[in-house]
Structure 1
């Protein structure tokens, strides 16, 4: 009887351990959560921290993320410039409409990464990074460590924080520079406007 009593705490601990494992927040759940909204509208503040400058270079704007369409990245300050990021590549709006940009520059790769992160494309990210996730559905942190030699030459790691949606992305570069992207006022309850639908359709 005494032996049985002494086993009870152990079996209780094991049961608690297994139940917490079963409830652990994993990459698939994060992907499903981030991929759920059809459309996300929000604002962003991007800070580029350069070792050579005492203050970060700050830009602000709005974004529209639409499932099955892509990302509109609408820079408002310090200058106005619109970008569209889709599976086909990255386009910039000028007086003549949307113009595709070369797909191999560093900025293009960074924007593709933003799109994969915001859409919850963990399988796409896993091709290029080791992923480490902590937290739960309401407050999580995802750390991306580069796999390929090319990415290792650019980034030491990328940290992503969020809750229901992505809230913060920080890219730490090997040269000591970094980019901090803060998403704010994100909402998933507004459909695409006619103008936004037109932008994605062009």
Structure 2
């Protein structure tokens, strides 16, 4: 007995729907690891400069604490991004930086992206997701007036974890952030726990 073509098409489309990778699955996937360690390369492309400004360093993302962003080159500078805001380490320890609205918004956004908080992102962006769990691309189109003044769109690529974030700014500048060697296998070290606790 031959299988009717119409029934086959219907079966394929239904099974395709059942296995479609959606925002909730992406959120769940990115929210799973409690700690992620990795290194990053950030390229800032400015219209006025022929070459991008490149900075490199390491990061620690802890689900219950926030993000340690440890810049190694071109200069050494440690940052901590958490619900309390951004802090920078100096000779006296961690100092909370003034809460500038666009900067604060950007950091809240950055944490939401890395932690897979799609409900937080959906408040400010229209989200378009393509791909599957092992390889996906998420496009964020700003909804809020404040974000529309800063970004035209944000592209995020990843698999099990976020691998690349591209920020396209309204004035033509852009930032590409590549997260490398990301691993969710190590817990926080004592030093890292101390950094988050201060």
The RMSD of aligned alpha carbons is: 1.3
Larger Rg: 1
Aligned to 2:40: 44
Judging changes above 3 Å, is the alpha-carbon distance between structure 1 residues 57 and 105 closer, same or farther for their aligned structure 2 residues? farther
Cα distance per residue 1:150-202 (max 9 Å; x no partner): 11111000000000000000000010000000000101100100000000111
2:108 paired with 1:100 = no
Provide TM-score, normalisation by structure 1: 0.95
Structure 2 residue corresponding to 1:114, chosen from 105, 110, 125: 110
Aligned to 2:29: 33
Cα displacement (A) at 1:108: 3.4
Structure 1 stretch 187-196 or stretch 8-17: which is displaced more? 8-17
Aligned to 1:200: 196
Structure 1: 5+ residue stretches without partners = none
Structure 2 residue corresponding to 1:8, chosen from 4, 7, 31: 4
Cα displacement (A) at 1:19: 0.8
2:79 paired with 1:83 = yes
Aligned to 2:62: 66
Cα distance per residue 1:29-58 (max 9 Å; x no partner): 000000000110000000000000000001
Cα displacement (A) at 1:104: 1.9
Aligned to 1:169: 165
Cα displacement (A) at 1:105: 4.6
**Which runs of structure 1 show a deviation greater than 3 angstroms over 4 or more consecutive aligned residues?**
105-108
2:176 paired with 1:180 = yes
Aligned to 1:17: 13
Cα distance per residue 1:86-145 (max 9 Å; x no partner): 111111111111111122254433232221111000001111100000000000000000
Give the Cα separation in 2 of the matches to 1:108 and 1:74: 18
Give the Cα separation in 2 of the matches to 1:174 and 1:152: 8
Structure 2: 5+ residue stretches without partners = none
Structure 2 residue corresponding to 1:133, chosen from 123, 129, 136: 129
Give the Cα separation in 1 of the matches to 2:58 and 2:108: 17
Give the Cα separation in 2 of the matches to 1:107 and 1:123: 20
Structure 1 stretch 108-117 or stretch 164-173: which is displaced more? 108-117
Aligned to 1:54: 50
